[in-house]
């Protein structure tokens, strides 16, 4: 069994191939965690999880959507998060690259969702872009709320940042970026960080790995990430798949 720990199967870029993707998830004995980025996509994730045995869901408000967040949003999110196939709050975080919501609002919404995750005994799935310093500061400030850990999805930071996050008890999500040319920073992270703290993900339909660059990403392509990690760490592909699958099952409390 192999797990794609972060994908967006509901994305309109996959509409024409969605049914084929869902069939292949079963055929390949694969599990997928479908990640939300808004109230609307939280519902879409749950719908996919309800109708597909091997799909699980997250619910959460992405930093891009923080500007539209209110107290009703938090109540609605809490109700959605109680669904039996919801395994995390996410993706949540900070994005100062696009900065589509004010920074202070992003931080406030992130903190509220961290508190909610702790209340519901769920881990967090974090999105962090060009905001490492503020993100680490919030993690330290809110350390009491991380009894259920979390993962920094599509990790792209330095080895030093990776080590700080691992020390705090978090996992790192590695995706197709690791197969790209000149991806030296993430190659160094994969070399230095124990496989016990890594998850593999596609972030489909985005970040399609080599050799399928230019095509929409699919959950089945997670195997290419496993192959590349195995190459970097001098392990077999099976070892990488087995360990990262165990990591994901543990983090998301999925019983199989």
pTM beyond 0.95: yes
Beta strands in 111-230 (DSSP E): 124-129, 150-152, 171-174, 198-200
Helices and strands (H, E) in the chain, number of each type: 9, 8
Residue 24 lies in a domain: yes
Q: Give the separation between CA 159 and CA 146, rounded to whole angstroms.
A: 22
Q: Give the separation between CA 93 and CA 113, rounded to whole angstroms.
A: 9
Q: Give the separation between CA 60 and CA 76, rounded to whole angstroms.
A: 10
Residue 176 lies in a domain: yes
Angle, nearest 10°, between helix axes 71-81 and 39-51? Answer: 10
Residue 256 lies in a domain: no
| Residue that is written with structure tokens 């079963």 in the block | 26
Residue 49 lies in a domain: yes
Residue-range definition of the domain harbouring residue 69: 2-251
Residue 143 lies in a domain: yes
CATH number at residue 187: 3.20.20.140
Residue 27 lies in a domain: yes
pLDDT by residue, tens only, the chain of 256 residues? 999 999 999 999 999 999 999 999 999 999 999 999 999 999 999 999 999 999 999 999 999 999 999 989 999 999 999 999 999 999 999 999 999 999 999 999 999 999 999 999 999 999 999 999 999 999 999 999 999 999 999 999 999 999 999 999 999 999 999 999 999 999 999 999 999 999 999 999 999 999 999 999 999 999 999 999 999 999 999 999 999 999 999 999 998 7
Total number of domains constituting the chain: 1
């Amino acid at each position: 069994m192999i797990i794609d720990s972060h994908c967006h199967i509901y994305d309109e870029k996959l509409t024409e191939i969605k049914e084929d993707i869902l069939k292949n998830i079963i055929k390949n004995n694969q599990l997928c965690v479908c990640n939300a980025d808004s109230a609307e996509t939280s519902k879409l994730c749950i719908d996919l999880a309800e109708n597909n045995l091997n799909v699980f869901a997250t619910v959460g408000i992405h930093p891009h959507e923080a500007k539209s967040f209110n107290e009703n949003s938090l109540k609605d999110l809490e109700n959605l998060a109680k669904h039996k196939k919801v395994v995390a709050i996410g993706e949540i975080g900070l994005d100062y690259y696009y900065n589509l919501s004010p920074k202070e609002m992003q931080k406030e919404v992130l903190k509220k969702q961290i508190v909610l995750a702790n209340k519901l005994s769920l881990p967090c799935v974090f999105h962090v872009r060009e905001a490492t310093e503020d993100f680490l500061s919030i993690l330290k400030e809110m350390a009491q709320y991380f009894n259920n850990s979390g993962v920094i999805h599509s990790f792209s930071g330095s080895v030093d940042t990776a080590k700080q996050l691992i020390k705090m008890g978090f996992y790192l999500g590695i995706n197709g970026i690791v197969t790209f040319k000149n991806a030296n920073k993430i190659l160094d992270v994969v070399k230095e960080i124990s496989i016990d703290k890594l998850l593999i993900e596609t972030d489909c339909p985005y970040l399609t790995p080599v050799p399928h660059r230019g095509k929409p990403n699919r959950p089945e392509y997670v195997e290419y990430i496993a192959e590349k990690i195995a190459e970097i760490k001098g392990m077999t592909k099976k070892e990488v798949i087995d360990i990262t699958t165990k990591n994901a099952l543990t983090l998301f409390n999925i019983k199989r």
